[in-house]
Amino acid sequence: MIRVRFAPSPTGFLHIGGLRTCLYNWLFARKNKGKLILRIEDTDRERFLPESIFNLLKTLEECGLDWDEGPVLSSKNTIKQKGRYGPYIQSQRLKIYQNFAKKLVDLGAAYYCFCSKQRLEELRKTQISLKIPPRYDKHCRNLSPEQVKKNLKSNIPYVIRLKVPDQGKIKFKDIIRGEIEFELKNIDDQILLKSDGWPTYHLASVVDDHLMKISHIIRGEEWLSSVPKHLLIYNALKWKPPKMAHLPLLLNPDLSKLSKRKGDVSVESFLQKGYLPEALLNFIALLGWNPGNDEEIFSLKQLIRLFSLKKVGKSGAVFNREKLLWMNGYYIRKMPIDKLAKYCLKFLIQEELITPIHNKKTKFKITATGEIVQINWLKKIIALEQERLKELKQIVELSEFFFKEPKYEAELLFWKKMTKNQVKENLESIKTEFSKIPISKFKKPFLEEIILKLAEKRGRGEVFWPLRAALTGKKASPPPLEIAEILGREKTIQRIDKAIKML
Ligand code: GLU
């Protein structure tokens, strides 16, 4: 049975690289009819943020990824756990790790270290000044059993360290990278259990991967250097290590490691800006994996069918934000209007352009004017902007003028070298003609007939430009007649009037 895990540390937000790791595990599990386990690695208490577990579960759910075992959010927004290998939150498994740490000591694969913080600090300083890599000097490695017993009896604080052989090599076969060999002499005697009884990542993840019957570990390349330490633990306990695949690093376009400093990298912030989960997943699926041709748009279903660890590359994958933006725009354009409206309404409400009316799903209030509008009217606006949206949150900026009087300077009304009089006359003619149209016919085809006639006489730009500016206060917008239709006769004329008065 294929069993894979995603094992994030809840130290804040979910990094986009974490989402890729989760996605690849998910695809691998779904493709092979295996199980995906979510495990929360919260043993680093200094970096732990309690609310981040909750956020993590919510974000993964929002992205549409699911898992078979591990913590899940219940309908009451509390955290439950499902699966028979739990608990899946490491802070709830301390006893297990403590027992295995002791077992490793008994087996001679680990040892008690009683060195004080101060001694370790001095050691580190000396090593740095001598320009040798800071590392534990194995001071306690050969304490006699009597000495150890005595120290334990006198309650001297201790940690448990891995006893890394002084020489020799350890190797393993990575699914993506092939055979990899490590010199043991370069490896530190890693702390496995800290003096407060908490395990380090290394001990906890090996113990859990074994007890949770993980068959394949798929994770980022940054964990590759931990593998020899883990293998020593597996070997000592006579456990069979899972197969491993280390995914290529994610890079900025300048090939530095993708990090917070060069812009947002949290999945939460991408979702908040209005990246669609399907676009995000499609985009990150291609960060390291490729289908072997130059196709780029894939649904999750297609990805499950095509995904293979064999097609994951070794070299770093560049995180190209423009491409993500393009892909998001693509998915937005393809989206049925009802679904798109659901997403966009959230942003319009959040930015207080509209206010939901209690208990009504189809009616909203325009916040600035108090006017009640139907959802179908809002859908027309959204459909009009659909082509231009790349991030959903742009709906706010793009459509604001439908909900508030636009603010602009009179200069905006001038097309090229038009004189003030020309602009005024043109706007006045539009106003006169528009006023003659009955409300029921205030629709694009009728408006077009009139405007095209005017444009023939007065010039296209000379007619369309001032009209667009008057209605939107912007240089660029969807076609002004469609806007006029949505705004309706009264508002359209009001805005034209206001523009005339500005001149
Ligand atoms: N807790 C580690 C992390 O934060 C997991 C590493 C692993 O997958 O072994 O990414």
Quote the CA–CA distance of 476 and 479 in Å, as a whole number.
9
Mention every residue, 6+ apart, whose C-beta is less than 8 A from residue 495.
405, 406, 470, 471, 487
Percent of the chain scored above 70 by pLDDT?
99
CA of 380 to the centre of ligand 1 (A): 46
| Across 358-369, average pLDDT | 90
- CATH class of this structure's domain 93-247: alpha beta
CB 43 within 8 A of CB 91: yes
Domain ranges of the chain: 3-90+250-321, 93-247, 340-402, 410-502
From ligand 1's centre to the CA of 233, what distance in Å? 17
Residue-level pLDDT at 46: 79
Q: Which CATH number is correct for 3-90+250-321, 3.40.50.2300, 3.40.830.10, 3.50.50.60, 3.40.50.620?
A: 3.40.50.620
Q: Say how many C-beta atoms besides its own lie within 10 A of residue 12's C-beta.
A: 16
- Choice among 103, 213, 257, 260 that is catalytic: 260
- Choices 3.30.70.3400, 1.10.150.120, 1.10.510.10, 1.10.10.350: CATH for 410-502: 1.10.10.350
Helix (H) or strand (E) holding 462, with range, is helix 460-472
Task: Using the atom order of ligand 1, give the atom closest to the CA of residue 5.
Answer: 8
Mutate to test the pocket of ligand 1, among 47, 201, 207 (most ligand atoms within 8 A of CB): 201
Asked if residue 466 lies in contact with residue 415, where contact means CB atoms within 8 angstroms, the answer is yes
Q: So what's the pLDDT on residue 292?
A: 87
Return the ligand 1 atom nearest residue 11 CA. 4
Atom of ligand 1 nearest to the CA of 205: 9
Instruction: Report the phi/psi class of residue 408: left, alpha or beta, with left for phi > 0 and alpha for psi in -120 to 50.
Output: beta
423 pairs with which residues across the strands? none
Element (H, E) at 374: strand 372-374
Residue nearest to atom 2 of ligand 1 (CA): 8
Cis, bond preceding 133 (omega within 30 deg of 0): no
The pLDDT mean for the chain works out to 95
Identify the pLDDT of residue 168: 96
- The residue behind tokens 């994996």 is 289
444-471 average pLDDT score: 95
For 115-130, letters b (16+ CB in 10 Å) and e give: beeeebeebeeeeeee
Which has the minimum average pLDDT: 322-331, 340-349, 352-361? Answer: 352-361
Q: How many CA atoms lie within 13 A of 288 on its CB side?
A: 29
- pLDDT of 262 above 80: no
Measured in angstroms, how far is the CA atom of residue 114 from the centroid of ligand 1?
A: 28
Q: Which atom of ligand 1 is nearest to the CA of 6?
A: 8
Residue from 43, 205, 243, 247 whose mutation best tests the ligand 1 pocket (most atoms within 8 A of CB): 205
Which of 219, 221, 224, 267 is the best mutation target for the ligand 1 pocket, counting ligand atoms within 8 Å of the beta carbon and taking the most? Answer: 219
208 C-alpha to center of ligand 1: Å? 12
pLDDT at residue 261, as a whole number: 62
Cα(227) to centroid(ligand 1), Å? 12
Q: Which residues does a 6 A CB cutoff place in the pocket of ligand 1? A: 7-9, 41, 201, 205, 219, 223
Residue nearest to atom 3 of ligand 1 (CA): 8
Answer yes or no: 339 catalytic: no
The percent of residues in the chain predicted with pLDDT above 90, rounded, is: 91
For residue 352, name the pLDDT band (cuts at 50, 70, 90): very high
CA of 312 to the centre of ligand 1 (A): 19
Q: Which atom of ligand 1 lies at the shortest distance from residue 217's CA?
A: 8
| Cβ(291)–Cβ(305) below 8 Å | no
Q: What pLDDT does residue 260 have?
A: 63
Same fold, 3-90+250-321 and 410-502: no
Alpha-carbon distance of 482 to 447, in angstroms, equals 9
Per-residue pLDDT, 254: 87
Strands 35-38 and 3-6: parallel
87 cis-preceded (ω within 30 degrees of 0) = yes
Q: Can you tell me the distance from the alpha carbon of 482 to that of 468, in angstroms, rounded to the nearest whole number?
A: 10
Average pLDDT over residues 273-286: 96
Residue 495 confidence (pLDDT): 97
* pLDDT the model gives residue 264: 83
